[in-house]
Structure 1
Amino acid sequence: MNRTSEEREAAPPAEDRYRRGTRRTAAEPLTASWEPAGRHRRKRKRGLKGLVANYGWRIYAVPVLLVLTALVVLDTAAPSRVGEADQTGATGATGAPRTSSGPPVATETPPSKVDLVNIPTAELPDGPKYSEQGAGTWQVIPGGTGQAGQGKLYKYSIAIEDGVDAADFGGDREAFARTVDGILADPRSWIGTGQVAMQRVDSGPVDFTISLTTPNTTHGLCGFQIQYETSCWHPPTSRVVINVARWVRGAKAFSTDLASYRTYAINHEVGHVLKNPHEGCKENGQPAPVMMQQTFGVANDYVARLNEVDISNRGVVDADGKTCTPNAFPVAPR
């Protein structure tokens, strides 16, 4: 729309039309001023000082936030320590036990050093209860083995007296038999001499029967002149009588090593089957002969004193002051 010369003269200059407080005509569009009211445009500074001047505390917050973000990302990606404990139990990634705060709930009571000379090592050690009276009859455990060793063959069976609680032999008759088989087939046992062989059978004639037997029945077969629990070889019945009390608790000379004592007891009594007599300690501080009465102890003076009340063993061991260490095998390892 064209305006007359008079209208153009009446209109304010263009720069005045946008000044604050100036009246606009109806034909003029609304236009926001680029400059905020009451403020003058400042010249922005450059460089670090300029950043600080322009952004204030925010310039310090940005790197801090970046570091925190990186830590969160790394923690999220790392394996969970709780997850490791769930998967590995009480150990960390290296398998080492973790420590916990506070005192332990239970602590060890290590065995005291056994005085092999000055205390009554023939006493039965403390331990679990065991069956004391059986029926005087035995049940042979089914099963057999191949021949172990070379030389004269000895066939044997394994039996448990009726009335022996299953807990006394670990609740598994076959496992008990395997333990005995393993002892007799060990090259450190009698087969290691190269003179005898062993084979378990469950029927037919046998040379001996290894019989787990209650103490009261044992006393009747083995005698009880030396009034400490022991085992024996009983020729009239061809029984190797293994006393339940000793099988369960062992002997003080062997301290807490029950497996070694059981091995000794089998080898010692089978040694009698092979016509080996009792022996004493031969060299001070050395392993005892398996035919020494280690159930009573390994000090010659002490064993000799006990044997004074047993006519069959009187004088077998010399009271010469020698003391050996416990030993379960008749054949030294090569």
Structure 2
Amino acid sequence: MNRTSQGGRDTTPSEGVRSSPPEDRYRRGTRRTAAEPLAACWQPGADRRDKSSSGIKRLAKSYGWRVYAIPVLLVLTALVVIDTAVPSRVDRPAAETSAQVVPPPSGPPAATETPPVKVDLVDIPTAVLPEGPRFSEQGAGTWGTVLGTTGQIGQGRLYRYAITIEDGIDPADYGGDRDAFARTVDSFLADPRSWVGTGTVAMQRVDNEIDADFVVSLTTTGTTHGLCGTQIQYESSCWNPATKRVVMNVARWVRGAKAFSNDLSTYRQYAINHEVGHALGNNHEGCKENGQPAPVMMQQTFGVANDYVHQLNQVDASNSGAVPADGKVCTPNAFPVAPK
């Protein structure tokens, strides 16, 4: 008796029919008999390919959008590799690409005792700050006005000035009395040997900076360096037109200059007259005649020998021609008007 299964199909081969070996049933292209189990194909869709289609079309049918995405990804990858390998351009600041550096508006003034470019100097003994008491090195960078006014002194164009002291200065640096310091400055500017003695300038003190044409400001060394520059190693004062300040370096106010020996009062009068002279529009000068009083606009803080001053100014375009290296040596002088 023949048993049937799978819906009554005969499981015994019929006579005359050759059955395929069990392993042939999985061979590609071999027809599966009804009783044979389903076999997975190792190449999905192979039998459904359109043999007349091109290779790209066959790939497109098999892989869809991936066929187009892969080349795009390859191109993007190549671009990333090239961009990473080649250094990108860096825009340099103007100061690195140009030899000319534009100073800020509050930079060193055009007329000053400090040359704008650092230069290697030989020993200039008279330019060194003398030994002496300690002085304030760093203040607040703000100034307090010393209140007080004067009447007009002199004839000619009127210049109004105010007097200030930087916040943070040790009172000992100006004798402990702000009013006494201001009276000292007033007396210097009212002296008939000062600028009022030229007959072309008049002075008047006011008690606020707004109304002033210039401001005499006692200033710490640190703040002075910011206003006057640090291109030279010797302490100095300056005129800063951007702030309208006659910047009086407290180091020089306390210790003076070697060219004036121990005469601190005369040096202070010279320093005030010299820097106020810049505020009035005067430039530097050199020694005119050997052995005679130096012009007040000579840089006597550094010395009264033309050779010394010339060397200090040799790289300063605004001062390079003002003082010749002619060997002339003058004597210290604090006044723009020759004593009578």
Q: Same fold by TM-score, threshold 0.5 exceeded? A: yes
Unpaired stretches in structure 2, ≥5 consecutive residues: 1-122
Alignment of 1:192-271 (within 5 A): 192-203=197-208, 204-271=210-277
| AA matched with 1:130 | F
C-alpha displacement at 1:225, in angstroms? 1.4
Cα distance in 2 for residues equivalent to 1:119 and 1:310: 17
TM-score, length-scaled by structure 1:
0.64
Preserved CA contact (<8 Å) 1:225 1:309:
no
| AA matched with 1:183 | F
The match for 1:277 among 274, 280, 283 is 283
The match for 2:299 among 293, 304, 316 is 293
Residues 32-90 of structure 1: per-residue CA shift (max 9 Å, x gap): xxxxxxxxxxxxxxxxxxxxxxxxxxxxxxxxxxxxxxxxxxxxxxxxxxxxxxxxxxx
Instruction: Report the secondary structure of 2:129's partner residue.
Output: coil
| AA matched with 1:170 | G
Identity, % of aligned pairs? 76
Cα distance in 2 for residues equivalent to 1:149 and 1:312: 30
Question: 2:126: which partner in 1?
Answer: 121
Alignment of 1:160-171 (within 5 A): 160-171=165-176
Cα distance in 2 for residues equivalent to 1:130 and 1:306: 25
The match for 2:148 among 143, 149, 154 is 143
| AA matched with 1:150 | Q
Residues 159-214 of structure 1: per-residue CA shift (max 9 Å, x gap): 00011100000000000000000000000000000101101010351100000001
Residues 243-281 of structure 1: per-residue CA shift (max 9 Å, x gap): 000000000000000000000000000100111100000
Preserved CA contact (<8 Å) 1:226 1:309:
no
Instruction: Report the secondary structure of 1:158's partner residue.
Output: strand
Question: 2:85: which partner in 1?
Answer: none
Cα distance in 2 for residues equivalent to 1:170 and 1:309: 38
| AA matched with 1:273 | A
Instruction: Report the secondary structure of 1:303's partner residue.
Output: helix
Unpaired stretches in structure 1, ≥5 consecutive residues: 1-117
Cα distance in 1 for residues equivalent to 2:281 and 2:303: 22
Aligned-pair Cα RMSD in Å: 1.4
| AA matched with 1:147 | Q
TM-score, length-scaled by structure 2:
0.63
Question: 2:64: which partner in 1?
Answer: none
What is the total number of aligned residue pairs between the two structures? 218
Cα distance in 2 for residues equivalent to 1:310 and 1:212: 26
Asked whether 1:185 is paired with 2:183, we answer no
C-alpha displacement at 1:310, in angstroms? 3.8
C-alpha displacement at 1:328, in angstroms? 0.3
The runs of at least 4 consecutive aligned structure 1 residues that moved more than 2 Å come to: 308-316
Question: 1:303: which partner in 2?
Answer: 309
Question: 2:80: which partner in 1?
Answer: none
Which segment is superposed worse, 239-248 or 144-153? 144-153
Cα distance in 1 for residues equivalent to 2:337 and 2:194: 6
- Sort the Cα spacing of 1:163 and 1:310 in 2 relative to 1 into closer, same or farther, 3 A: farther
C-alpha displacement at 1:311, in angstroms? 4.3
